[in-house]
Amino acid sequence: MRVLTHAAELSPFDGCAFVPTMGALHEGHLSLVRAAAAGGAPVVVSIFVNPTQFAPHEDFTRYPRPIERDLALAESAGAAAAFVPPAEVIYPPSEVIEVPPLPGVATAPQLEDRVRPGHFAGVCQVVARFFDLVRPMTAYFGQKDFQQLRVVESMVECSPTRWKGLRIAPHPTVREEDGLAMSSRNIYLAPQERLRAVGLFRALQSANAANHPATAELLMKQTLTAHDLEIQYAVVRDANSLMPVSDFSRPTRALIAVKLGAVRLIDNAALTVLR
């Protein structure tokens, strides 16, 4: 596997399958790499902790960066190259890297962007920059960050000439045996916190017993509270727009964000409710 640090080194990989990450790779990331490799195109994995999507009070400085381990894991999963750029390659000091227009799904639902103002501006800025530099034909994103996935899909849909032919390939959330969604931040959880964290998955399961979105939201909040989790949101939304729904007549998604001590966790699931 080649390790690349500058944009000029990417030219042999035009049309690649691309897996953008912030490192601290786990099985969720590796499942994306394996899915990308199965498509036949060479796989480029980026490893870059993007400062513009962290608020000043968030964990940018302590975000895990086990680079040698990450490179070995990426190679074992089938990556042909790892793009590990220094910050000045992504954000050159002499160049203004514009933030693409935010699609409505970034802000109108009042979910992540309400809790983390400016977060999706940073996501769109860095993802657009990577798409411009890497020039992939397919980019793989996990569904655990479901709103992020919808934001990236919408951003690409709104720029058909900028990234001509680019396909965004969603991949299901990968979970631990007890249902907790795999996340680089799970390593921050103390043993007792880890036991409580499974409440997110149990809350999503409880929503499937409801026959109305409001009931599903109530059941999720009750389950999260029973696990002593600080709720930021626990909602049922339209699976495409992420706007509120009044019934289950179209595809819906349950989305949760909580604080557990100093750790913030998110999760989501499609609802297959009893009617």
pLDDT at 56: 78
Q: Is the pLDDT of residue 221 over 60?
A: yes
DSSP 8-class letter at 63:
S
Compute the distance between CA of residue 65 and CA of residue 70 in angstroms, rounded to an integer: 8
Q: Is the pLDDT of residue 46 over 60?
A: yes
More confident position, 132 or 62: 132
Q: Is the pLDDT of residue 45 over 70?
A: yes
Q: Is the pLDDT of residue 123 over 60?
A: yes
Selecting among 6, 26, 29, 57, the annotated active-site residue is 29
Grade residue 171 by pLDDT with cuts at 50, 70 and 90.
Answer: very high
Cβ distance 62 to 121 under 8 Å?
Answer: no
pLDDT tens digits, residue range 103-115?
999 999 999 999 9
Compute the distance between CA of residue 32 and CA of residue 147 in angstroms, rounded to an integer: 18
* Architecture of the domain delimited by 184-269: 2-Layer Sandwich (3.30)
pLDDT at 274: 53
Strands in 2-4's sheet, in edge-to-edge order, are 2-4, 81-83, 43-47, 17-21, 138-142, 167-171
Q: Is the pLDDT of residue 11 over 70?
A: yes
Cβ distance 186 to 180 under 8 Å?
Answer: yes
Q: Is the pLDDT of residue 275 over 90?
A: no
Helix (H) or strand (E) holding 139: strand 138-142
Compute the distance between CA of residue 167 and CA of residue 160 in angstroms, rounded to an integer: 11
pLDDT at 63: 86
Mean residue pLDDT across the chain: 95
| CATH 3.40.50.620 assigned to 2-171 | yes
Cβ distance 147 to 153 under 8 Å?
Answer: no
Cβ distance 45 to 23 under 8 Å?
Answer: no
Compute the distance between CA of residue 40 and CA of residue 42 in angstroms, rounded to an integer: 7
Q: pTM here?
A: 0.95
User: The tokens 């590796």 sit on which residue?
Assistant: 30
Q: Same CATH topology for 2-171 and 184-269? A: no
Structure tokens at 23: 């490192």
Residue 36's CB is within 10 A of a number of other CB atoms, namely 28
Residue 100: which of 135, 129, 142, 133 has the closest Cα?
A: 129
Q: Is 29 a catalytic residue?
A: yes
User: The tokens 């951003």 sit on which residue?
Assistant: 155
pLDDT at 273: 65
pLDDT at 3: 98
Structure tokens at 42: 């060479």
Q: What are the sequence ranges of the domains in the chain?
A: 2-171, 184-269
Weakest-pLDDT range from 12-16, 24-28, 50-54, 174-178: 50-54
